[in-house]
Amino acid sequence: MFNQNDRTFGGGQGHHRYGMQHTHLQNLGGVHQHQNFPHGSHARGQNSAHRYTSSGTPLSLAHQYDRHAHEEPSGSHIEELDESGNEQWKEHIKAYREYMQSGTPHYHAKTFARRPPPDIVKVNAADEDNEDPDDRSRAAIAKPKERSAWAGLDLSGQGLRLLSSALFRFEFLEELHLDHNKLVRIPPEIGRLKNLIHLDISNNLLVELPGEIGLLSNLQELLLFDNSLEHLPVEIGYLFRLRILGIRGNPIDHDVGPEIKEAGTENLIKYYRNRITPPPHPDRDWIGFFETSDQSQETFTALSYNILCQRAGTSAHHGCVPDKALSWDYRRDLILRELENFESDFICLQEFDAITHEDFRQRLRELGYASYYSQRTRSRYLNGEQARLVDGCGTFWKTDKYISLASETLRFGELGLNDQSVKKSADYINRVWQKDHIALVNLLENRVTGTRLILVNAYIFWNPKFKDVKLIQVAVLLREITQLAEQWADLPPVRDKRSRPSDVPDAPDAPDQEFAPSSKYTNSTDIPLVICGDFNSEPTSAVYDLVARGSLPAHHDDLDGRDYGPFSTAGMSHPLTLKSAYGAVGELPFTNYTPDYQGVLDYIWYSSNTVRVKGLLGEVDREYLRKVPGFPDWNFPSDHLPLVAEFAVTPRRKGAGKM
């Protein structure tokens, strides 16, 4: 139940400490936040309901206290327990036996302190760099948890009737013991304790649980013995990691107990999960920055969306999602409806496999879009269905407004080898070359105004242990965009804008209308540039700094001392004046939302010298997020959010002419 390798459980003699960073599972008796219990001391009496900050100020965690409140469990006797059944049922019985032996105040803290330390198994550090190329469990290691001086809290046997909201500020808690009290309700704020692994609220006066219990997606043990629960909330189905559900001694035991014994906890949780119905979903607000009455003002919208490809959208990766909401047929239809409703001029999709592209291309063609698509490099080495399931990037544009003049697929691993000094780098061969991530680059021209625009759709490697790989991939991306812009600045004008794009033979015909001459660009940086994509890097990363600031010094820390030729020795830089569109609002709270990770990984970058942000699709309703532990779900078909930005083209200076 308690991992003594990782933490100590304060409050008794025999208190063990080990040669690594510890956290402390403490009772609340007169201790300071970052101090250990004195050996042999146990806080008792009314002070047990208080915890002191480092300044000595008491923080009340229980409004009422009754030192004589403890009663013996009302459940069945130990000798009556039937231990036949599956392994999860046996764990349930074992947990109940342990519960029957508890009851004294702070029993769990005292018991833990007397346990001998377990054997410590050393993990081979070499294994840390092994990674499955299709593994999407980025959340598990993307954002290391800040460890507190203690990880658990024992408030058992204190006669508590109410819980203060102050308790739920301890979001680092991994274990919480509230058993053998007189609680009549658990506040919905319990959903804030998302790091909980073990929660014991046995032997209270509970008749129901809040639906927010389903937000505790790390929970493995939920003990509810000897309460008055007649039903469980369907949201308990979100607890996909739950192994032990202790319900003995409740009215619901007659229905649920046999199910656990027969089918196991996992199947019971799955049953509840598939009964979850779609919650009401407010639309995301549109954030407008300025309006203009100038009808000649040229504007366009761009959408970036990692759609969670078919192969990655499985219960193994997204265990909290109801089966129907996770099914590709359901998600596909919802994604297509989103794309249709947004009506963006440009659509940039990542994690987009070949089968899905064939499907979406036909549907979006009916809506007036043409497309350019490439798979990741590994598809070259596979056959048949396996090759078609390899994901890539797909870019779509409205053909009544834009014509495609040129397109390129950038394969980061291969492009770096064009530089002889990089080609000699063993680090590049062993780390970057093996990753097959890509970007698409399109040069498009507005049929009516003649304005040209470079549109980029990028997908960067995900694993946070490979910060150097991400940084090199983005450095290569920016270098290649710069070189392509220089080449494309000299392209001749388009003479017949009514013709179909040569690289998209199935594009619909353009309507008859007046077309302006093609714009002429003396400097490559004068061509408007928009870069969409999943960069798998947070706003505090070196990747973000490189894109936004334009340079990074030589031997940057994220390269970890590795040799990447001039990228290491001379630093990295680019001449593009790029800003994040969502930087106008300080970035969204998240673009990737799962039970284990919430953070910003996706961006729409733009050249600030050529276009301005006119509007953005805003964040998800925060009340909605208090009801769901992660995406995808019934209303959000991917674990990433679609980003949508509207831009206004900056009028060109006098003297900038047409071809």
| C-alpha span between 52 and 64 (Å, rounded) | 17
Q: What is the pLDDT of residues 240-276, one digit of tens each?
A: 999 999 988 999 877 777 777 777 889 899 999 999 9
**What is the reported pLDDT for 82?**
59
Confidence of residue 480 (pLDDT cuts 50, 70, 90): very high
394 with 365: CB under 8 angstroms?
A: no
| C-alpha span between 392 and 390 (Å, rounded) | 7
537 with 543: CB under 8 angstroms?
A: yes
Joined tokens for residue 175: 């274990």
Domains delineated in the chain: 286-649 (3.60.10.10)
Nearest alpha carbon to residue 541 among 606, 481, 593, 474: 474
**What is the reported pLDDT for 543?**
97
221-223 and 244-246 strand pairing: parallel
User: What is the mean pLDDT of the segment spanning 498-526?
Assistant: 70
The lowest-confidence range among 353-362, 485-494, 650-659 is 650-659
Structure letter (DSSP) for residue 589: S
* Gap between the terminal Cα atoms of the chain: 74
| C-alpha span between 107 and 87 (Å, rounded) | 26
**What is the reported pLDDT for 105?**
80
Could you tell me which residues are beta bridge partners of residue 448? none
Sole residue written with tokens 């780390």 = 431
Confidence of residue 531 (pLDDT cuts 50, 70, 90): very high
**What is the reported pLDDT for 19?**
26
| C-alpha span between 553 and 261 (Å, rounded) | 61
Structure letter (DSSP) for residue 511: P
Q: What is the pLDDT of residues 570-621, one digit of tens each?
A: 999 999 999 999 999 999 999 999 999 999 999 999 999 999 999 999 999 9
181 with 157: CB under 8 angstroms?
A: yes
Instruction: Give me the torsion for CA of 524, 479, 348, 546, rounded to 10°.
Output: -110
Could you tell me which residues are beta bridge partners of residue 456? 441, 531
Q: What is the pLDDT of residues 151-160, one digit of tens each?
A: 899 999 999 9
- 290 pLDDT above the threshold of 50: yes
66 HSE (CA, 13 A, CB side): 12
Question: Which residues are within 8 A (CB) of 8 and not within 5 positions of it... i.e. 6 or more apart?
Answer: 15, 16, 17, 22, 23, 24, 25, 36, 113
User: What is the mean pLDDT of the segment spanning 332-346?
Assistant: 97
| C-alpha span between 528 and 609 (Å, rounded) | 8
The lowest-confidence range among 23-27, 181-185, 313-317, 411-415 is 23-27
Question: Which residues are within 8 A (CB) of 71 and not within 5 positions of it... i.e. 6 or more apart?
Answer: 180, 203
| C-alpha span between 312 and 390 (Å, rounded) | 10
The lowest-confidence range among 98-107, 123-132, 196-205, 403-412 is 123-132
| C-alpha span between 162 and 147 (Å, rounded) | 28
